[in-house]
Amino acid sequence: MNESIVAASRFGYGSGPSGASGIGGDPKRWLKAQLARPARPSNLDGLPDAASLVVLELELRKSRQEMKQRGETPPEAKPGLAQAQGRRYYLDEVAARYEAAAGSPAPLIERLVAFWSNHFTVSGIRPVVRPLAGAFEREAIRPNILGRFEDLVLAAVRHPVMGLYLDNAVSVGPNSRIGERRDRGLNENLGRELLELHTLGVEGGYTEEDVRALARILTGWSIARLQDPDSGHFRYFEPIHEPGPKTLLGRTYPESGIEEGLAAIRDISRHPATARHIARKLAVHFIADQPPQPAVDRLAAVFRESRGDLRATTEALIDLPECWQNYQKKVKSPWDLVVSASVATGIRLPPEPLAGALVRLGQAAFMAPSPAGWGDDSQSWVGPESVLRRVEWCQGFAERADPAIDPLAVADAALGDALPKPARTLVGLADSRPTALAMVLASPAFQRR
Amino acid sequence: MNAFDPSHPSRRTLLSLCGASALALGLPSVGFAAVPTENRLVVVILRGALDGLAAVPPYGEKRYAERRGSLALPLPGEADGILPLAQGFGLHPALAPIHPLWATGELLIVPATSGGYHTRSHFDAQDLLETGLVQRSGNLAGWLNRALAELQPREGTRRLGLALGSAVPLMLRGPVPVSSWEPPDQKPVAPTLLAAMTRLYETDALFGPALADGIRAQNLSDEVLGSESGADGQRAKSLGFGPGAFRVVADAAGGLLAAGEGPRIAVMEMGGWDTHVGQGTVKGRLANNLDGLAEGLSHLRQSLGTAWQRTVVVCVTEFGRTVAPNGTGGTDHGTASVTFVLGGAVRGGRIAGDWPGLDQLEENRDLRAATDIRAVLKGVLRDHLGLAPARLEGAVFPESGAVRPVSDLVRV
């Protein structure tokens, strides 16, 4: 198998019409060079930041409340940005993310952004999050994928959108100054997902007591209000912070305000169970649904020894022989399919058809079903109904192709030898170019990576 | 999941589109100079090579039944028999929806046509059919776009051309901008593609069984396998699956072309004609497709309303199919097929062009070509749209001087 094609598909979104030629003779070097100077895609400039959208949201709610107080009927049936102009922000984000991924000279960066964004899911299933999820990815995830893991965790946890999504913004210490006066209490949501999903993993050996301790530690981590100078941004509020020492995973954190949370996040990020959990997730994503244990162990060791250095861990991933041996073991997620088909053909979908396609294919952008994010194995994506949807999408997408596109040239550039001879012959016999291109894109070889 | 569905809020319904077509196409709604032509032209590309001898069986030929073997259709008067036209030609019974147009003089048949090129490759032949050339050249612009260039100068910025579908077909591509209309919903998988995918997934332990289960669950098996049992075909038709999808596009095309300052020249496409396996006779895969075509044309006529009187529809295909059935109940790539010309502006109710007969076959296997498709198209462009003969030779169909336009195709 041509290593350039493996590299392009395994660590990126595949090869385009010009083949894998940009990669050169040393695919590992090509990949590592991307890590050395990651550039922020310029098409992301100009999108609104999360804080300004949060302010918009808060203002909308405020004016709605005021209208109600005056006995008037608000124009929207439901409160919030999502109901008003939220769809425009959502579509802009989906389109920008797609452009960045499909047009990137550093596709590994885009794949890492998608991986970590899924790891720290904030889902638009909650309407308040929908217009904001893209900003979360751009602000909390993208700048931190090659630094220390603990900084990535911290950026995600402190981001206002995570505060909204996992309710920590409204979590109040029962014995805090405000908690004592009002009937508001602790919300364990973020504390639990931090341990279960983001760091130690469900088998990481923590208890319900640890979940509650972490939730208490993180009380006060909220969002600045309209009247605050930094409104819409992360803000620590002492008056809702649960006072007193807390014991998490056997270690006692004396009362120290926001410092407790900073220390706790650093500690759980460096926990050995976290290294194993992250290593396994990376291996499942980049190698196979059931990754070889030595590969997982190697990644975990690098992660641990480097104190969660994500660039070092990613480099170790690139160097794993297993990454180069298990080609075509992974089924592409709908997102991967749509982006890689766009790269392979040069076709670019307009925002509405793009968003619609992802819905029909079962992976609406920024809309994962739960904080656990999207599944990362073939069972998540291949079933009787979903295979028909995939073929259907390939058919519709292929019809968009310029008539000058030669389906066999697309196949050769994107797949090389991965498309078996008999399949290639069958494609050549198709009744039209769009049918042939649909066959290439729907072929098992293109559906996998 | 929740109620949010990014695919829906801006769904364009056909009704609103047709009602506001000028708006939908981004056309200014007022302030036009004189409209040069109120005449409409629709070209239907039948991709995959239509079996012309099945669509328009020459049942009066002595050797018809012998040559067609198991694919011969029951004669007129028999159950599900051929619908008679004239001179020993008839229509496939599945084309019944357009049969009345013969009696009203709105359907003309050119029974042995080819594009003037010699290739049995779908891709090459479709490219040539659409570029109007007989051999490949670097110039990948469509002949219809070149024809638009002849009409457009009189029209300023108005877009006379209209592509129905996700992409502009090659026939309409070129320097003159055209409008396009895309079906609001994703089309279900075409039977031919489903059949191809079944083969591509055959040896894949994951995708193979999943697709087979999916096909079973949706009762699409008959469409894929070309079974002659009608029940699922009917179901598929009601869902707009495969051949039925053409109807949706035809409705849109008619509505847009009927509009006062809308487009005048449209291209529609329909696939599923590459019937190598089990094409069937009075029922089956080809019959379903012919039915979808005829239903669509009938819808086009209705949605055009009074504009139908000024419309010419030409249905072309890249080449024909072998006269005799192959070993799998189908037909392979051949030479000549049939061209349909229909519409209120057509001088129809007759067979046009020569008929080479079934005695002498091209390479002992194919119907020979008697009429060049470009001759038909040139006749329509000259007499229906008023293009200058010299421009037809030089610009629209380069180096086609020897291909004389067919005269008297339209009422003038």
- Ranges A69-78, A264-273, B297-306, B349-358: which has the least confidence: A69-78
Half-sphere exposure of B372 (CA within 13 A, CB side): 20
pTM: 0.80
Distance CA B9, CA B7 (A): 7
Q: What is the 3-state secondary structure (H, E, C) of B200-223?
A: HCCCCCCHHHHHHHHHHHCCCHHH
Tokens 């019937």 sit at which residue? B275
How sure is the predictor about B36, in pLDDT bands with cuts at 50, 70 and 90? Answer: low
B169 touches chain A (CB under 8 A): yes
A90 touches chain B (CB under 8 A): yes
Query: What type of residue is B359?
Result: D
Contacts of B140 in chain A (CB under 8 A): 403-404
- With contact defined as beta carbons under 8 Å apart, do A96 and A134 qualify? yes
B363 touches chain A (CB under 8 A): no
The chain-wide mean pLDDT, for chain A, equals: 93
**Would you state the pLDDT for residue A190?**
96
**Would you state the pLDDT for residue B80?**
96
B218 touches chain A (CB under 8 A): yes
Contacts of A404 in chain B (CB under 8 A): 140
Contact B189 A391 (CB under 8 A): yes
Rounded to a whole number, what is the distance in Å from the CA of A79 to chain B's nearest CA?
Answer: 15
- Count the Cβ atoms, other than its own, within 10 Å of residue A214: 27
A36 touches chain B (CB under 8 A): no
Distance CA B278, CA A296 (A): 52
Contact B6 A358 (CB under 8 A): yes
Higher-confidence residue of B356 and B124: namely B356
Mean pLDDT over B63-80 rounds to 97
Q: What is residue B83's three-state secondary structure?
A: strand
Query: What type of residue is B188?
Result: P
As beta bridge partners, residue B90 has: B84
pLDDT at residue B20 tops 70: no
Mean pLDDT over B277-293 rounds to 93
pLDDT at residue B394 tops 90: no
Handedness of CA B70, B71, B76, B79 (dihedral sign): positive
Q: What is the DSSP letter of A169?
A: G
pLDDT at residue B306 tops 90: yes
A77 touches chain B (CB under 8 A): no
Q: What is residue B5's three-state secondary structure?
A: coil
From the centroid of its chain, how far is CA A371? 11
Mean pLDDT over B36-64 rounds to 94
Mean pLDDT over A279-306 rounds to 97
pLDDT at residue A440 tops 80: yes
Contacts of A382 in chain B (CB under 8 A): 206-207, 210
On the 0-12 / 13-18 / 19+ scale of CB atoms within 10 A, B81 is middle
B197 touches chain A (CB under 8 A): yes
Distance CA B410, CA A114 (A): 60
A/B interface, count of CB pairs below 8 Å: 141
Nearest to B111 by CA among B336, B379, B273: B336
Contacts of A127 in chain B (CB under 8 A): 2, 4
> pLDDT tens digit string along B170-180?
999 999 999 88
> pLDDT tens digit string along A70-95?
988 877 666 666 665 778 899 999 99
pLDDT at residue B325 tops 70: yes
A444 touches chain B (CB under 8 A): yes
> pLDDT tens digit string along A132-177?
999 999 999 999 999 999 999 999 999 999 999 999 999 999 999 9
**Would you state the pLDDT for residue B353?**
96
A87 touches chain B (CB under 8 A): yes
For helices A407-415 and A334-345, the axis angle rounded to 10 degrees is 120
Contact B210 A331 (CB under 8 A): no
> pLDDT tens digit string along B59-69?
999 999 999 99
Q: Quick one: closest CA in A to B173, which residue?
A: A403
392-421 in chain A: CB under 8 A from chain B: 392-393, 395-396, 399-404
Contact B7 A386 (CB under 8 A): no
What's the complex ipTM? 0.90
Contact A391 B194 (CB under 8 A): yes
Rounded to a whole number, what is the distance in Å from the CA of B256 to chain A's nearest CA?
Answer: 21
B32 touches chain A (CB under 8 A): no
pLDDT at residue B156 tops 80: no
For helices A433-442 and B122-131, the axis angle rounded to 10 degrees is 140
What is B141-188 written as a DSSP string?
Answer: --HHHHHHHHHGGGGTT---EEEESSS--GGG-SSS--EEE--SSPPP
Query: Hey, of A431, A437, A439, which one would you mutate to test binding to chain B, going by the most B CBs within 10 A of its CB?
Result: A431
pLDDT at residue B39 tops 50: yes
- With contact defined as beta carbons under 8 Å apart, do B58 and B329 qualify? no
Q: What is residue B284's three-state secondary structure?
A: coil
Rg, chain B, Cα only:
21
pLDDT at residue B317 tops 80: yes
Which residues neighbour B271 within 8 Å (Cβ) at sequence distance 6 or greater? A431, A432, A434, A435, B47, B48, B190, B192
Which residues neighbour A72 within 8 Å (Cβ) at sequence distance 6 or greater? none
A381 touches chain B (CB under 8 A): no
> pLDDT tens digit string along A205-223?
999 999 999 999 999 999 9
Contact B199 A382 (CB under 8 A): no
pLDDT at residue B11 tops 50: no
Contacts of B274 in chain A (CB under 8 A): 430-431
Which residues neighbour A321 within 8 Å (Cβ) at sequence distance 6 or greater? none
B275 touches chain A (CB under 8 A): no
Higher-confidence residue of B34 and B196: namely B196
**Would you state the pLDDT for residue A88?**
87
Mean pLDDT over B281-285 rounds to 93
Contact B186 A396 (CB under 8 A): yes
Beta strands in B11-106 (DSSP E): 40-46, 83-84, 90-91
A426 touches chain B (CB under 8 A): yes
**Would you state the pLDDT for residue B235?**
39
**Would you state the pLDDT for residue B23?**
36
Higher-confidence residue of B167 and B303: namely B303
> pLDDT tens digit string along A15-52?
987 655 578 889 999 999 999 987 889 999 999 999 99
Higher-confidence residue of A411 and B223: namely A411
B271 touches chain A (CB under 8 A): yes
Q: Quick one: closest CA in B to A425, which residue?
A: B200
Q: What is residue A25's three-state secondary structure?
A: coil
